[in-house]
Amino acid sequence: MTTRTQIDTFLGLYRLAVVGVSHEPQDFTRQLFRELHQRGYDVVPVNPKAIKVEGLRCFARVQEIMPPVEGALLMTSPDITEQVVRDCHAAGIKHVWMHRGVGDGAVSQAAIAYCNEHGIAVVAGFCLYMFLPDTGFIHRTHGFILKLTGAYPA
């Protein structure tokens, strides 16, 4: 179960890989990538099918990133999330966020179990936007609804 402390710890990291960021400029993953960059995070794009994202070199896998990142935001499909967390472990990444806005998002139960078994702190199943200071109305509303239903992390 994800706690607010885990979320705050992740948000306190500076250098983050964004795994699964799209090469399409209007895609949600790109919007979140730009938002993090504008907020001062040193974001590193990871997508094996892209060369550059937002003018930054894009890496095929997290193990290729130098200097290494502190955490990884996974915007992948659940069927590849387990391999991505294995890659994160191999790269020494100790903090992973499996993004979910609608549907399953990047969440994989096998990947969560792998993280737990290998000492990787995992935030599973929340939209990162909800926890950013001064976020947009729709994201604040999403968080408010989760609070009403008891699903917001304590």
Q: For residue 102, name the pLDDT band (cuts at 50, 70, 90).
A: low
Which domain does 135 fall in, by range?
4-149
Residue showing tokens 């199943």: 125
- Number of structural domains, the chain? 1
User: In this structure, is residue 154 part of a structural domain?
Assistant: no
**pLDDT: which is higher, 23 or 94:** 94
What integer pLDDT is reported at residue 126 of this predicted model? 87
CATH number at residue 133: 3.40.50.720
Distance CA 7, CA 130 (A): 11
User: In this structure, is residue 65 part of a structural domain?
Assistant: yes
Distance CA 127, CA 38 (A): 18
User: In this structure, is residue 103 part of a structural domain?
Assistant: yes
User: In this structure, is residue 87 part of a structural domain?
Assistant: yes
Asked if residue 89 lies in contact with residue 62, where contact means CB atoms within 8 angstroms, the answer is: no
Asked if residue 86 lies in contact with residue 61, where contact means CB atoms within 8 angstroms, the answer is: no
What integer pLDDT is reported at residue 82 of this predicted model? 95
Q: pTM score, two decimals?
A: 0.91
Distance CA 38, CA 33 (A): 9
End-to-end, the C-alpha distance of the chain in Å comes to 10
User: In this structure, is residue 10 part of a structural domain?
Assistant: yes
Distance CA 110, CA 38 (A): 33
